[in-house]
Amino acid sequence: MWVLIYLLIVLLPIGLIGLVIFVIAGAGMNIYRTGKRGYSDVKPFIDSMNAKVKFAQEKTVKFAERGDNLAKSFEEINGRWAFITEVFTETKKSPAVKLAGMAGKMRSKK
């Protein structure tokens, strides 16, 4: 009888501790399985989102390159326009143009 009481006093707490550990492990396995299923359900959406993000980044880079090319084109046009205005300014100061202007004025007076 004393042995039975002794075994109950020692084995009951050990059994309860083992039961708690078993329940915690079972709950953990359920959470793991649910998470794994949830991840497999969401994974196609994640992959699709990654592809869309990559596509958007490529478009952004291309847009930036186009902007740079456009800025370079405007700089080139500005440089050419400056060259054209400089040529016209020099042409207006040319002695031949001044002579032609004076000839035109004299011709108009007659």
Let me know if residue 39 belongs to a domain: yes
Let me know if residue 5 belongs to a domain: no
Let me know if residue 6 belongs to a domain: no
Please give the residue range of the domain that contains residue 98.
12-109
pLDDT tens readout for residues 67-110: 999 999 999 998 888 888 888 887 777 777 777 777 877 777 76
pLDDT tens readout for residues 45-55: 999 999 999 99
Total domains in the fold of the chain: 1
Let me know if residue 98 belongs to a domain: yes
Let me know if residue 2 belongs to a domain: no
Let me know if residue 57 belongs to a domain: yes
CA angle 81, 85, 88 (to 5 degrees): 140
User: 56: which 2 tokens?
Assistant: 């958007």
Let me know if residue 3 belongs to a domain: no
